[in-house]
Amino acid sequence: MPNRLETYRVAAYNTAKQSENKMHDDTVARRFGFSGGLVPGVDVFAYMMHVPIARWGRDFLSRGLIEARFIKPVYDGETADVDATEHNELLTIEVFSRTELCATGTASLPAAAPAVSLSDYVAVPVVAERKPVSPATFETGKWLGTTPRRWAGQDAADYLTDVREADPIFVREGLGHPGLIQRVMNRVLVDNTILGPWIHVGSRMQLLSAARAGDEITVRAKVTANYEKKGHRFVELDALVVANGTMPLAHCQHTAIYQPREQAAA
């Protein structure tokens, strides 16, 4: 029988008010029909990860599989309720805020992490000069890289505070939160072009090994799709996230609207 888990309640926090992505700015977001600046999807994803981390601990961080789709915004200062049901070793996860369904997803614990070869993913530098985004920026089949990112010491502690994560495993074992992997996935877009307001709409992440606090994280990403749907321009990425140039951390698929309707028409 399905087992409904205790709701995990989060006081949502918009960590990106000062970011280049003005979809997190109250004034700009309202222009696109939202009530205010959006809490980043990668942080909502981090809220969702609390449930499988609490359920499976280090095993999940080493080989867990999680995917999420972001349906409606979560806003700064609002309560986000993460509900989960477990059935046949699968967690079905939903995020509600303002009584609305904001995100859905699933998480599971494979028996082993799949084997992944670094050589199957091409390491490339970020562009020498970022230029305004266009459909040509994300040409299908193109490889994209990221500037290395590292969270250690106070930066790592601040991240856990920002995403409201109090599970002691990260501090106790010196581990990096997998939400950081998603932040670096977003950088595939930001490091390679000048974007206007944009929206992360969904991700799938197969963890391959537990990140350590202070790891230098980079991404080797291939553009697998670039298309228009209902006036929005979407990009899909298939990527390997790597620690310290040698250790595969996660295999990720990442989907974003890089030109929302209003901007695409401008």
What's the pLDDT at 93?
Answer: 98
- CA nearest neighbour of 11 among 64, 61, 82: 82
Query: Please, which residues bridge with residue 247 across strands?
Result: 243
Which class for 199: exposed (0-12), middle (13-18), buried (19 or more C-beta within 10 A)? buried
Judge whether residue 222 has pLDDT over 70. yes
Instruction: List the single range of 35-39, 171-175, 219-223 with lowest mean pLDDT.
Output: 35-39
Judge whether residue 65 has pLDDT over 60. yes
Q: How many C-alpha atoms does 154 have within 13 Å on its Cβ side?
A: 0
Backbone phi and psi for residue 222, each to the nearest 5 degrees, phi listed first: -115, 135
Judge whether residue 263 has pLDDT over 60. no
The mean pLDDT of 175-184, rounded to a whole number, is: 96
What's the pLDDT at 26?
Answer: 62
The mean pLDDT of 123-143, rounded to a whole number, is: 95
The predicted model scores a pTM of 0.93
Cα–Cα dist 151/220, whole Å: 19
% of residues, the chain, pLDDT over 90: 83
What would the two tokens of residue 108 be? 């599971």
Cα–Cα dist 249/23, whole Å: 29
Contacts of 61 (CB under 8 A, 6+ apart): 53, 169, 175, 178, 207, 210, 211
Is 74 strand, coil or helix? Answer: coil
Span 71-127, pLDDT tens digits? 999 998 899 999 999 999 999 999 999 999 999 999 999 999 999 999 999 999 999
What's the pLDDT at 266?
Answer: 39
What's the pLDDT at 25?
Answer: 67
What's the pLDDT at 265?
Answer: 44
Instruction: List the single range of 20-34, 68-82, 180-194, 223-237 with lowest mean pLDDT.
Output: 20-34
What's the pLDDT at 23?
Answer: 61
